[in-house]
Amino acid sequence: MKSRYTAAILTLLLLASPIFAADAASAQEMKTSPVLEMRPGTMTVMERFAPIYYADGGETRGSVYYAASSTAPDNIIYTRPSGRLYSFTFHPGVPEKLYYANANQNDIYMVAETGSGWSAESTVFTHRTYVRDIAFAFDQNNNLGLYFSEATRAGGDGTIYRVDGAAATPIYTVKLADVGGFWAGDFSFDYDGNLYLCSGNQVPASIYKVTTGTGAITRIFESRDTSIAGLVYRDGRLYYADWRQNIYRLDLASGTSTLYYTNPARTWISDVGFKERRDAAGSRPMVGTYTRFSTMPTAPMQKVLMPS
């Protein structure tokens, strides 16, 4: 009997304390209220929007735009003196340097952001034919290189090159049989050296992964509704333009694509990128080795022409 009275007195003392009283009320509420069961398939993680940059290949005077939110209006950071701008990339160690190309011309251009504006446009490399897409990446010896693609869409196999001074060194041949019979030249590297290729301005569209070390080619994503144009890798995700007014984010772990940015004022969003330092090991684009190991042929897809 004494132990029962002691327990009752302790209970009254605990409930008299505001802290313990709140805990008791909370416990009682949990007993009477339904409990939400969080499962991997239903849990939603809210993430901060990472400001993204993009180009519109439909403009006769090409610009690079900045989006601070998922529905931000046009915010131009740079406009060319003349000519289209399809693809671009920021220098990963000096993000004030902007490189870009017109997919229907042979040159790669560069401008630099200064305290008083942008420097004059200069040509850093001229290829023998059209330069479709460009990207920076580090090699296995930590040397930074500028890479670009040459492609004829459905007219033949394409090539990715590294700029070596006044010359271009091929590093990978994109066989149309491996990518559904169509490749417009868009590519990207991740932090482990894997290479990503996408179909370009045609529907349906796919993204392929070329695994470093083996060269194995796998189709990792397909869109039956949109094109997949310029793309960039960042922290486990691929961001890509749909050649219309939207940018999507593909989570590589889940294979889920979600709308990331939209702007009805745009015509043909052709490329995307991030302006930030990405020269630290483990968080920078890397070039791998792509000795051909296996292929995964797919049926040819319908061709859609770029504007001239």
Q: For each of the chain's 308 residues, which pLDDT tens digit applies? A: 444 444 443 343 333 333 333 333 333 333 333 332 223 333 344 578 999 999 999 999 999 999 999 999 999 999 999 999 999 999 999 999 999 999 999 999 999 999 899 999 999 999 999 999 999 999 999 999 999 999 999 999 999 999 999 999 999 999 999 999 999 999 999 999 999 999 998 999 999 999 999 999 999 999 999 999 999 999 999 999 999 999 999 999 999 999 999 999 999 999 999 999 999 999 999 999 998 754 444 434 333 344 44
Domains in the chain: boundaries: 52-273
User: Helix crossing, 2-16 with 18-32: angle to 10°?
Assistant: 100
pLDDT of residue 46: 53
Looking up tokens 């590589």, which residue turns up?
Answer: 252
* Interior/surface letters 209-219, b for 16+ CB within 10 angstroms, e for the rest: bbbbeebbbee
Number of H helices, E strands in the chain: 2, 21
CB 288 within 8 A of CB 145: no
Kindly compute the dihedral angle of the four CA atoms of residues 78, 90, 231, 271, in this order, to the nearest 10 degrees.
20
107 has which bridge partners? 126
Q: What is the pTM of this model?
A: 0.81
CA dihedral 240, 292, 300, 162 (to 10 degrees): 50
At residue 297, the pLDDT reads 41
What local confidence, expressed as pLDDT, does residue 16 receive? 39
Cα 42–Cα 48–Cα 54 angle in degrees, nearest 5: 115
pLDDT (0 to 100) of residue 48: 86
Residue corresponding to tokens 């990128």: 273
Fold type of domain 52-273: Neuraminidase (2.120.10)
Say which amino acid occupies 189.
Answer: F
